[in-house]
Structure 1
Amino acid sequence: MALGAVSLVTDISSEMVAAVLPLYFVLGLGLSPLAFGFLDGLYNGATAFVRLLGGYAADRGGRHKLVAGSGYLLSALSRLGLLLAGGATAGIGAAIAADRLGKGVRTAPRDALISLSSPPDGLGRAFGVHRAMDTTGALLGPLAAFALLWMTADAYDAVFVVSFCFGLFGVLLLVVFVPGRDAAQALAAKHDVARAPAAARPRRAPALALLRVPAFRRVCAAAALLGAATIGDAFLYLLLQRRLDFAESWFPLLPLGTAAVYLALAVPVGRLADRLGRRGPFLAGHVALLAAYALLLLPTDGRPLLVGVLLALGVFYAATDGVLMALATPCLPEGRRASGMAVLQTGQALSRLLAAAGFGAAWTLWGIGAALTCAALALVAALAGAALLLRPTESRTENPPENRTEHPTGHPAEGPPERPLAPPPSEGTA
């Protein structure tokens, strides 16, 4: 709950900025779709280059809270960079990169703390509760941005200042209320998380060595494949604004519809994934994203288009964000959770960076319709590939129960035991 509160406050800060950036870039600064695609890809993909470092630093000595706190602080300070950048694209890009670097540093340690403090059969629900609180901040952030723009006659600087204050408050909550190393160790012991004796722990293997685990490698490949066909909600909101031609001042409210659906479904979908397996909800979420693409391609207009796209986006995030982490957790050794999640998130972030930049280029060269059609076809192909990668394995009765390993669907699958990776050193995990 403490991490959820930190994420709630921090997401107010982040979404205040995220809600106005597409308008600020395209309508305020007059950037082309290609330039916006580059910056949007940077916004979502700059995290990729520090996730592995953040995960490794968190696992080494169990400094999850310290590493996560550093990331939250860097993101808060980046708001000041947006103030100082003015209209310079390079300055804005640097501030955005700093914000996303902060997110990259903190995300894997934060998710590792959640997984370490949750029972194995409740991972979907735990991540769902956290994402629900996180999404509450995503609801309040655009509202705050809309109110500030309305009261200050579109003064974007006011949004950046208030966002900075909320970011610092989130760091304070983390320092005061989130359990530190000893408390997290006690929680892991409470849930019977197996830990190897100190003398038996070999030297730590590189984070990328986790890809030697077949189940985890398949989850990473599926996430990266689907990420390469995910163009990002900022583009979809811009397409909605152009299709419906509503006033610019209403633009920051578009994420509210998505966040409301996400908030309503995050916990129920997490529980459903725990009960029925996590493969189905994860793939179904991307089918919902495909539905959003289709609505924007069809001659739909007015309220059905607006409601349909926002509903589809909300379902997409509710069924994929936390569920993906819960899907990957059973494949990872307890002492390598942060590193493993960093590897997974890095591949996904790089794929989405390429998707955003590619869609922006296609929009500039071929137009909106052709670009969106290409994105929809790519997502269909990615869904087929991911379904194959995550398909359940057939049970083989000749294998004894002790040889069963966790399958990426979230259920145990029959198979020979996999060679374990090097567990963590004796310092602990939190």
Structure 2
Amino acid sequence: MYLSSTYVSSTGPRRRLRVGGVPATVFALGLVSFFTDVSAEMVAAFLPMYLMYGLGAGLLQLGLLDGLYTGASALLRVAGGHLADRWSRPKAVALCGYGLSALSKLAFPLAGGALGGIGAAIAVDRAGKGLRAAPRDALITAATPPRLLGAAFGVHRALDTAGALLGPIAVFALVGAVGDAYDAVFVVSFCLALVGIVILAAFVRNHPIRPAVPAEAHLPGRQAARAGAGVREGLRLLAERPLRRVTLFASLLGLATAGDAILFVAVQRQAGLPVSALPLLPLATSLVFLAAAVPLGRLADKVGGWRIFLMGHALLALSYLFVAHPGTAAAALLLHGLFYASTDGVLMAHLAGMLPAHLRATGLAVTQTGQALARMAGAIGFGFLATGLDLRWCFLICATLLLSTLLAAWRSGT
């Protein structure tokens, strides 16, 4: 079993500023994610309107671009983690990722009406997201004592979710003010992303990484991982049984997860809401996520992150059962938000304690990639299933698969 190492400053140990027990670095990274998510969600909420009513694209093109938006970041997470570990500079890699996403906002108006150009802009934006995710989580882990990791990731994800909550509101207010001057949306989005980059560059510190204790002391019979870790070394982390089990079950649970968009459509239909109310449903999930992320993160520090992670998927299965039962739409959205609050940052906090510092970003990225690709496959599979079955039965099948996988994960004792 790998044991964590620590960041060590070349100038010696320094006292870290904390706010309410959580390091100030975590709040700074949370603000970076806040402004970045306001920027990103402005574009995400605006793209369907822009493509269909601004450019006259059809549903097929919209679906292809939406798939690209969902999947591109997952494929680059390992690359971001590998570069952060290889160079021992997670902040620099995170800056590159945030910078790519910011610049992509200016590429949208430059693409004009060319769907190929818009697809390229989306790919650049998602590439930036993939590059920055694992290095950012590694920075959070390096700045936080192990006993506070759940709370730290909860604080970060709460600020991240607050940005996601404000993004759609901001874009609809802006469109109401500027009418069809669509370029203004992308310019404002770029400016907000730039604020996040400035905060990251100015207020987040990056220290060189070296193991606090030689790796051989923890891995009898194995050679120490090189300081410049490669992807191969990162993948070898999966040879460690607890980490392998976490990655395996996180991916299997992802395969049994329906896409959020279909869930919101099902809730809208079940509740009898007008189509115009559909964009507001994700805000309900985000509000619950925002309120519950920190309390559930602190609970994970006390009772164990894996237990809370599994509990979150149990809540998701219950949410699917409510979706399949008339008159329980509000409960389904509440449980959906609790699912995200119980799993997103909690899994990363749980994994961080299993990884050595010089391979932490790569290890986190490997699990994130497996989980993200599994969720994408699960969403696509659910879509195919829904073409031949009533949505209610589709959600009942997903709930059954989730509960079966949860039982196996619980028995594994990870």
TM tier, smaller: 0.7 to 0.9
* Paired residues for 1:229-378 under 5 Å: 229-241=256-268, 244-246=272-274, 248=276, 250-300=277-327, 305=329, 307-363=330-386, 365-366=387-388, 369-370=390-391, 373-378=393-398
Q: Residues of 1 paired with 2:249 and 2:205: CA distance? A: 33
The offset of 1:197, in angstroms, is: 8.4
Instruction: Normalising by structure 1, report the TM-score.
Output: 0.79
The offset of 1:252, in angstroms, is: 4.1
- 1:260 and 1:202, CA in 2 relative to 1: closer, same or farther beyond 3 A? closer
Residue 131 of structure 2 corresponds to 105
Residue 221 of structure 1 corresponds to 248
* Paired residues for 1:110-121 under 5 Å: 110-121=136-147
Contact 1:258 1:310 in 2 (8 A): yes
Q: Give the secondary structure class of the aligned counterpart of 2:334.
A: helix
Q: Residues of 2 paired with 1:59 and 1:118: CA distance? A: 18
- Identical-residue share of aligned pairs (%): 50
Residue 212 of structure 2 corresponds to 194
- Structure 2 counterpart of 1:311, one-letter code: L
Is residue 2:37 matched to residue 1:11? yes
Is residue 2:81 matched to residue 1:55? yes
Gaps (5+ residues) in structure 1? 394-407, 409-430
Contact 1:222 1:390 in 2 (8 A): no
* Paired residues for 1:376-387 under 5 Å: 376-387=396-407
The offset of 1:251, in angstroms, is: 4.5
The offset of 1:357, in angstroms, is: 2.7
Is residue 2:195 matched to residue 1:172? no
- Structure 1 counterpart of 2:122, one-letter code: I
- Structure 2 counterpart of 1:50, one-letter code: L
- 1:313 and 1:342, CA in 2 relative to 1: closer, same or farther beyond 3 A? same
- Structure 2 counterpart of 1:75, one-letter code: S
Q: Give the secondary structure class of the aligned counterpart of 1:60.
A: helix
- Structure 2 counterpart of 1:328, one-letter code: L
- 1:153 and 1:54, CA in 2 relative to 1: closer, same or farther beyond 3 A? same
Contact 2:254 2:378 in 1 (8 A): yes
The aligned length equals 377
Q: Give the secondary structure class of the aligned counterpart of 1:44.
A: helix
Q: Give the secondary structure class of the aligned counterpart of 1:230.
A: coil
- Cα deviations across residues 258-305 of structure 1 (Å, max 9, x unaligned)? 2211111101001111111222321222233233333333333xxx52
Deviates more, 1:279-288 or 1:111-120: 279-288
The offset of 1:380, in angstroms, is: 2.7
Q: Give the secondary structure class of the aligned counterpart of 2:205.
A: coil
- 1:390 and 1:103, CA in 2 relative to 1: closer, same or farther beyond 3 A? farther
Please give the root-mean-square deviation of Cα atoms over the aligned residues, in Å: 2.9
- 1:313 and 1:343, CA in 2 relative to 1: closer, same or farther beyond 3 A? same
The offset of 1:349, in angstroms, is: 1.4
Gaps (5+ residues) in structure 2? 1-26, 217-222
Q: Give the secondary structure class of the aligned counterpart of 1:331.
A: coil
Contact 2:314 2:406 in 1 (8 A): no
Contact 2:324 2:395 in 1 (8 A): no
The offset of 1:57, in angstroms, is: 0.6
- Structure 1 counterpart of 2:121, one-letter code: A
Residue 236 of structure 2 corresponds to 209
Q: Give the secondary structure class of the aligned counterpart of 1:77.
A: helix
Contact 1:22 1:234 in 2 (8 A): no
Q: Residues of 2 paired with 1:266 and 1:39: CA distance? A: 30
Q: Residues of 2 paired with 1:13 and 1:388: CA distance? A: 40
- Cα deviations across residues 176-209 of structure 1 (Å, max 9, x unaligned)? 1111225xx6xx9xxxx834389x9553452211
Q: Residues of 1 paired with 2:257 and 2:183: CA distance? A: 30
The offset of 1:64, in angstroms, is: 0.3
Q: Give the secondary structure class of the aligned counterpart of 1:135.
A: helix
Q: Residues of 2 paired with 1:24 and 1:222: CA distance? A: 38
- 1:92 and 1:108, CA in 2 relative to 1: closer, same or farther beyond 3 A? same
Instruction: Normalising by structure 2, report the TM-score.
Output: 0.81
The offset of 1:157, in angstroms, is: 3.9
Residue 134 of structure 1 corresponds to 160
* Paired residues for 1:37-116 under 5 Å: 38-86=64-112, 88-116=114-142
Residue 18 of structure 2 corresponds to none
- Cα deviations across residues 376-397 of structure 1 (Å, max 9, x unaligned)? 423432442244235464xxxx
Q: Residues of 2 paired with 1:268 and 1:351: CA distance? A: 27
The offset of 1:375, in angstroms, is: 4.9
The offset of 1:16, in angstroms, is: 1.4
The offset of 1:87, in angstroms, is: 5.2
Q: Residues of 2 paired with 1:241 and 1:90: CA distance? A: 32
The offset of 1:84, in angstroms, is: 3.7
The offset of 1:317, in angstroms, is: 0.9
Q: Residues of 1 paired with 2:111 and 2:379: CA distance? A: 23
Q: Residues of 2 paired with 1:387 and 1:330: CA distance? A: 24
Contact 1:85 1:91 in 2 (8 A): yes
Deviates more, 1:126-135 or 1:291-300: 291-300
- Structure 2 counterpart of 1:134, one-letter code: D
